[in-house]
Chain A
Amino acid sequence: MKRRSNCNEFPRRAPRGACLLAAAVFASLLGARLAAEDKPAAPADAPTVEQIVQKTNYVSYYLGKDGRAKVKMTVTDKQGQQRQKEMVLLRWDAQEPKATDAKTADFQAGDAKFTGEQKFFVYFKSPPDDNKTTFLVWKHLDKDDDRWLYLPNLDLLKRIAGSDKRTSFVGSHFFYEDVSGRNVDADKHELVKTTDTYYVLRNTPKDTASAEFAYYEMYILKSNFLVAYTMYYDGNGKKYRTYTVNQWDKDAAFGYPVVKKATMQDDNLGGNTVLEYEEIRFNIDVPESLFTERFLKRTPYKFLE
Chain B
Amino acid sequence: MTSELLDIADAVVGAALPGEQIEAYVARGSSTEVRVYGGEVEHFVAAASEGIGIRIISGGRTGFAHAGTLDLTAIHEVLAEARENVAFGTPDEWAGLAEPDGVATIDQELWNEQLAGFATTDKVALALELESITKGLDSRIRVDDANYVDGGGEAAIVTSTGVRRHGRSNACHVSVSTLADGDGETQTGFGFSIGAHPGEFDLERAAQEAVDRATRLLGARKPPSGRTTVVFDPLVTAQLLGVIGSTLNGEAVVKGRSIFAERLGDDIASSAVTLIDDPTDPRAYTATDTDGEGLAARRNVLIGAGRLERFVHSSYSGRRAGVPSTGNGVRGGYAGSPSAGCLALALEPGSRSRDDLIAGVGDGVLVLSVSGLHSGVNTISGDVSVGASGIVIRNGVLAEPIREFTLATTIQRLLSDVVEVGSDVEWLPMRAAGVSLVVGGVTVSGTS
* A-B complex is real: no
A-contacting residues of B (Cβ < 8 Å)?
none
